[in-house]
Every structure is written in C-alpha cells, then in structure tokens.
Structure 1
C-alpha cells in the first residue's frame, strides 16, 4: 500500500479516564491499531491551553513524547507521529533530543508533524512571542537538522546560542525522521518545500478555519492549487521533487460508517495528488475503539490498492 493511513490515538479523552487514561488503554488501543494495519498512530500537542478555548470545543492533550514512548514500547511496526507538535513552544535542541531518543529506541519509527500553532493564550503562558511563531518555525527546523547530524555544531538563534555542541546518538532515520509541515497558508507551503519532507494539511471547511486562524482548504480545487503552488516553488528554489502530501485525518469512524465511502474518499484524495491521510475513531468506549479500528483494517486498509 503506497497510500498511507494514520489514526488519532484516543488518550486525550480525559472525560473517559477509565477507558482511555491508563497504561492498560495504551496497551490495548496501540496494539489494536497496529494489528489493523494503520501506518501511524498520532498525538496532539497542547501543554497548557486556555480555559476559554477548552470550554468552547477545545481539547486537552497529553505530552506527545511521553505518549509516543509508551506506544512505541508496546508496538513494533506502528509509526509514532506528532500531529502536530507546536514547534515554537520548546527550545529546538530539547525537541531534537527527544525526537532523536525516541527514534533511536523505537528503531526509526518517528514521524514529526510540525506546525506553528494558533493559540495566542497558550503561547503567552509558555513565554513565547506569538507574532514571531513563523520565523521561529523556520529557525527551529534548521537548528534541529544541524543537531541531528551528530557532528559538533554552532548555531545562533533567538535567545540561545550553540558554540560547539554535539548531540548523540543520532536518529536511526537519516538524515532525520520525516518532517511533515503543517499549515494551510502559502508561507507554510513554502516551508514544506524549503525545509520539510511532506506537507501536512488540515482539510476543513471555512467556518472551522475562521476560528482556527488558518487558511481554508475545503474544496478539491484548493488542494490542487496548493500542490501546484508547492511544485512551482520547488522549481524556483531548485528542489527536484516537491514534498509529498500527507493529510491529517479526513474520515470519521463513528456509528455505522461505510467502508465503501471511506475507500471512495481516499481514492478521490489520491486522484488529487494526496499521498496519505487518516481516520478518526469517535467512541467513549475502549472496546468499541479497538473493534472499529480492526473493522477499518479489514474493510478499508486491506482493500486499498493505490
């Protein structure tokens, strides 16, 4: 299967602690999605969101590297993906160290989905300048790539300086784990071309993007235009092959969902130039979560031939 499919791990659902907030839940759910054949399990990143956002349809998030470490310990083939890590929240060398350790100890299974984020109150709580987030994204990606070489390096960034530092061991994946650049703006598209391995878009209707402060991607033509823009920019800067397109989850598994509808949906994305996507399982029950994942594996993943 060349079209890859991920799924969102359910450990953020703290309203159902007995079902999803335990080591037993990590064991059961992670093994189920691996057995189902999902390419990756994904986690989100909100260390300290505002109460206002949480109370208006926001969500909590566990620490992404803690969760992926536990998932990695109970699986052997499942890729471990951040979707997304808000890169400017942390010193880039701290992030590079966490990524390198996780990739090394899970034998090269990390996929690093990255984004600039949009929650001003969370930025403020973390002491990071919200208006500088895009510049910090570019800077931090360059800093991490340098650290991942395993060689002595120097780098002067925003409020920090490396004067001859070294980070070992390096990630198993070379030169580093895949960098999936999130964001729907033209700047994010250029970043994907200049610094990333794939573009990681969030396909949502306009009413959602209005509240999330991100560019609208709701029609097929929006996707086609974005891919064309990346190809144009790649040619401009001399990149031979434009980034792949690995979308965030675009299909919902809830109730009596249709496997044929899922297959048709992913085939349509593939026809537009998308190389991967995902499915989100909505249930308040761990057993049902695993059952839905396994059904998706049998009825969808096993039948995708593109």
Structure 2
C-alpha cells in the first residue's frame, strides 16, 4: 500500500498559512519527510457559489501548485486527484503534463475524471452532456501528443491537422493515468484506456450530487475491483494496474481517525487489491497540518508492510 497525502491548499480564508509559495513548499517537504509516496491536489477552476457555500472548496491551478511541490522535494510523486479533462483543450493539458513531468524528473501521476458540477461546466463553456465523450477523446489526443511525433486528430471542438508537441514526458509512454469514478463506465475507461482506477466512498446524497454509484463498504468496493479484474482478463490486459481508494470516513474535511482504525482499514483495502490510498489530514493551520502529517508518518506509514 502506497500513500498519497492531500496538499491542503483550498483554504482561502487563511492565505498566509496555505497559499504562498513557501507554504506549499513547506507542506510538500513535510509530506515527503513523513514517508508518504505522493501529494495530491484537486481541480476546481471556477466552482459554483452555491456549492462553495454548502461545503465545497476552492483550488489552486493543479499544475502550478504541483510545480511548487516538485521544486521543494526530490522523491515525492505529484498526483492530480482529479483533473477534469473536459474543462481544457487536451493538447494544452498534454503540454502541462509533459512540462511538469520533465521538470520533476518523472514524478507525475495523472488522476483524471469527467466532473459533475454543471454550473462549472457552463461557466467554462463546456457542454456538460458531452463530458464522457470529451474525456475519452482527450485521453486519445493526449497520448498521441505525448509521442512527440506529428499528430493528425480531429475532435469535437478542435482539429489538429499535423501538429507536434515536444518535449515528450519523461515517463514513457506517458505518466500513469488513473481514471476516477465509481460507475461501470468509469471502471471500463480505467481498464481499457488508463493505468489505474480511482474510486471514492459515496452513498446517498453524495452519490446523487456526483452522479456516480454508491461505494459505502469494503464489500461494495470488492465487487467493483473484481469487475475491473474480470474486464482485464477478458481483454488479455497484463500491464500493471493500480487502484487508489480514499479510506472510508476520511474524505476531505473529516477529522483524523484513530491510527489503529486507519491501519486496520488500509490492511483491509490492500487485501482486496487496493494499491494506493489518497488521504486528507486535518489542516487547522500550517503548523497543525504538519504536526498531523508527522504523527501520521510515525503511527501509520511507518507501520505499513515494506516500510523501513
């Protein structure tokens, strides 16, 4: 089990604590020192006011934020969890991905998703009903761009008649891509077009808001993972495949669970095929977050199998 810890950079009420270059750098250094394998950021370029007022959050541009984290660290992987691909032209996204992967010595993990906030789609001029098609198109377009060779590709809203983007990413053929979402369609996208799957705990109201399936228990998740493995077997896919899951009851904004309970859940997740866990620790202040990270490293990460 490998661990990706959230960079708490959505708290715009405390800009001096979290939203300076030194703040992001110090947070990333603390995460690296804890023994965590990656840090992650979210993606909300222009969220709806109503969503913000009912518990939603802001976000820095993910590639800018991760570039500061990259410059402050040497080993820590840089994880987008998740980039909403439909918000951007895929070739611009491909350029950002290749740039940060090159400058970080190949440390990017690209979590991607279809998105769910209709008002954000509207504000960005993207047809919400096309989001699934746009994601699949973007995956194909970005992979073509990352070859470093000339690309002829006509999409729903663009036409590349023979364009080229260099440098290519350092990781070949490209950084690992993990597709988010809990639905059967999301799993098929992950298996057929990506290198991993990134579900999240959801039930009831949250499932309805995000437009995805419930995953409320370990058994729910096991059934979904078994489906992914069945699809891989049917297609004869043998390349490595990661599953990155948020521990139950540890979504952003939750209090830190007792460490014994976290360890028990991480072991249970690993037993059914989860290889990564994305975890958000409480961040009452910069110092408070760093203290929680240090505690998590000593009491959880250091006790995971394979850690020294």
Q: Secondary structure of the residue that 1:144 maps to in structure 2?
A: helix
Which residue is 1:261 aligned to?
261
TM-score normalised by L of structure 1:
0.95
The separation in 2 between residues aligned to 1:250 and 1:89, in whole angstroms, is 28
Which residue is 1:203 aligned to?
201
Correspondence for 2:125 among 124, 127, 134: 127
1:241-252 pair list within 5 angstroms: 241=239, 243-248=241-246, 250=248, 252=250
Which residue is 1:91 aligned to?
89
Which residue is 1:112 aligned to?
110
In structure 2, the gaps of 5 or more residues are none
The separation in 1 between residues aligned to 2:58 and 2:179, in whole angstroms, is 22
1:297 correspondence with 2:305: no
Q: Deviations over 1:258-278 (max 9, x none)?
A: 222111110011112111102
Number of residue-to-residue matches in the alignment? 304
Which residue is 2:141 aligned to?
143
Segment drifting more, 239-248 vs 70-79: 239-248
The separation in 2 between residues aligned to 1:206 and 1:39, in whole angstroms, is 32
Correspondence for 2:231 among 230, 233, 238: 233
Whether the aligned pair in 2 keeps the contact of 1:251 and 1:280 (CA below 8 Å) is: no
Segment drifting more, 44-53 vs 201-210: 201-210
Deviation at 1:286, TM superposition (A): 0.7
Which residue is 2:282 aligned to?
282
Whether the aligned pair in 2 keeps the contact of 1:250 and 1:279 (CA below 8 Å) is: no
The separation in 1 between residues aligned to 2:115 and 2:177, in whole angstroms, is 16
Q: Secondary structure of the residue that 1:181 maps to in structure 2?
A: strand
Write out the 4+ residue segments of structure 1 that deviate beyond 6 Å after TM superposition: 253-256
The separation in 2 between residues aligned to 1:24 and 1:250, in whole angstroms, is 32
Q: RMSD between aligned alpha carbons?
A: 1.6
Q: Secondary structure of the residue that 1:203 maps to in structure 2?
A: coil
Q: Secondary structure of the residue that 1:134 maps to in structure 2?
A: helix
Correspondence for 2:71 among 70, 73, 82: 73
In structure 1, the gaps of 5 or more residues are none
1:18-33 pair list within 5 angstroms: 18-33=16-31
Whether the aligned pair in 2 keeps the contact of 1:6 and 1:249 (CA below 8 Å) is: no
Which residue is 1:186 aligned to?
184
The separation in 1 between residues aligned to 2:235 and 2:61, in whole angstroms, is 36
The separation in 2 between residues aligned to 1:242 and 1:70, in whole angstroms, is 29
The separation in 2 between residues aligned to 1:35 and 1:226, in whole angstroms, is 34
Segment drifting more, 197-206 vs 242-251: 242-251
Q: Against the structure 1 CA distance between its residues 50 and 255, is the aligned structure 2 distance closer, same or farther, given a 3 Å change threshold? A: closer
Which residue is 1:162 aligned to?
160
Q: Secondary structure of the residue that 1:81 maps to in structure 2?
A: strand
The separation in 1 between residues aligned to 2:204 and 2:34, in whole angstroms, is 33
Q: Secondary structure of the residue that 1:225 maps to in structure 2?
A: helix
The separation in 2 between residues aligned to 1:218 and 1:254, in whole angstroms, is 16
Whether the aligned pair in 1 keeps the contact of 2:26 and 2:72 (CA below 8 Å) is: no
Deviation at 1:279, TM superposition (A): 2.0
Deviation at 1:256, TM superposition (A): 7.0
